[in-house]
Structure 1
Amino acid sequence: MQHNRFEEPVTVLVGMGLPARIETVMEAYALLQDWPAANRNSAHAIALNACKAGIGGEIDAETVRSTFAAFARRHDILVPDMDALMPAVSTASSSSANTRT
């Protein structure tokens, strides 16, 4: 495994609301570099600095990932982990199916 690859990708909404899987520190850095200047804030600066530190080998990729995910959550572009949601959906489906029979 590369030192700059996330263990789990971070899925964010980009452009016209399309999901994009961010899998590496460099991909997170590129997205943050392209972030509109008018929408940059302290969360952006923290995430960008984390990416720079990750690229420089000063911090590990998982620290960068968690910082980037926090940025995405704060800006409402983080896509929820669908795998984590699926058990809740299937449990709800099976319980409603059981009440109908």
Structure 2
Amino acid sequence: MNCGQFEEPVTLLVGMGFPRKIDSVMEAYALLQDWPSAGRNGAHAIALNACKAGIVGEIDPETVRATLVSFARRHDILVPDMVTPLATVAGGALRTS
């Protein structure tokens, strides 16, 4: 695994609602740097600071990922993992009929 890579990407809705996969600390940092100033708040500052700490190796990429997920949830831009809901709907097991 590359330094700064997330174990699992985070998919966010950006721009006009287009999905974008964020795979690394640097991609998260770039996204947050480009975030409109009107939409910046405490969650943004925490996620951005986590990215900065992750870039210099002060915290691990999964901690950065967790702060990005929290930021995305607060802004309602997190795309849920589609595998988990399917298993939940199917009662935890795949149905064949």
TM-score normalised over the length of structure 1: 0.87
CA contact (8 A) 1:25 1:51 kept: yes
Query: What is the deviation of 1:62?
Result: 0.2
Correspondences of 1:12-91 after superposition (within 5 Å):
12-91=12-91
Equivalent-residue separation in structure 1 for 2:22 and 2:41 (angstroms): 21
Letter in 2 for 1:57: G
Query: What is the deviation of 1:43?
Result: 0.3
Equivalent-residue separation in structure 1 for 2:6 and 2:67 (angstroms): 12
Q: Deviations over 1:25-61 (max 9, x none)?
A: 0000010001000110000000000000000110000
Percent identity reads 69
Q: What SS does structure 2 have at the residue aligned with 1:59?
A: coil
- What are structure 2's unaligned runs of at least 5 residues? none
Which is further off, 82-91 or 23-32?
82-91
* Root-mean-square deviation over aligned CA pairs: 1.7
Structure with bigger helix share is 1
Letter in 1 for 2:87: P
Moved over 2 A (4+): 88-91
Letter in 1 for 2:78: L
Equivalent-residue separation in structure 2 for 1:85 and 1:69 (angstroms): 17
- What are structure 1's unaligned runs of at least 5 residues? none
State which structure, 1 or 2, has the greater radius of gyration over its C-alpha atoms: 1
- May I ask how many residue pairs the two structures share in their alignment? 95
